[in-house]
Amino acid sequence: MTDDPFALFERWLADAKAMEPNDPNAMAVATVGADGQPAVRMVLLKGHDQRGFVFYTNLESRKAGELMANPRAALLFHWKSLRRQVRIEGPVSGVTDAEADAYFATRARDSQLGAWASDQSRPLDARATFEARFAEVAERYRGGPVPRPPHWSGFRVVPERIEFWQDRPHRLHERRLFTRNGGNWHEGYLYP
């Protein structure tokens, strides 16, 4: 047992990487629009440390617009094969340009090109339009590096609450809740 939620998360994520067949870093991100309507979608965790949990997106997407208008989010990791979940809630801030540039440089070239070609969250008349944009961008950057688009960056969810949920027989699940008060974490148990 540990009283450090980040150490526990790191251990659970390592277990997921060893057991989950696809995307052990997949997480649901919940946001709220200006009209109060919640929205949730799957993204990939691309960094985590004591400062928070990081993912990247097109800044013109619905999720980015909602996070900029209401900078709070909830995350959910669900590792079905391990029968575990982690829920995280807290305020959101943007990553630095240096962080976004460093991560963007690690992406596969086609993923970099896709970030330029995509109008995420906006409808297109046909898939062929997107494929034509992709081809145009590929030609533009042929033979050279692909810079990070100005409309593409990341967000960091700074946790105030982290709940670890472990399935137990007879629905008597174990739920450990860590809450932040100032710079300190407090632990408690929740019951089913």
From the candidates 41, 84, 148, 171, give the one annotated as an active-site residue: 171
Q: CA-CA distance, 56 to 47, in Å (whole number)?
A: 10
Rounded to 5 degrees, φ, ψ at 96 are -75, 160
Which residue is associated with the tokens 């962080």? 99
Does the annotation count 87 as an active-site position? no
For 33-48, the DSSP string reads -TTS-EEEEEEE--EE
DSSP 182: T
Please give the positions annotated as active site.
171
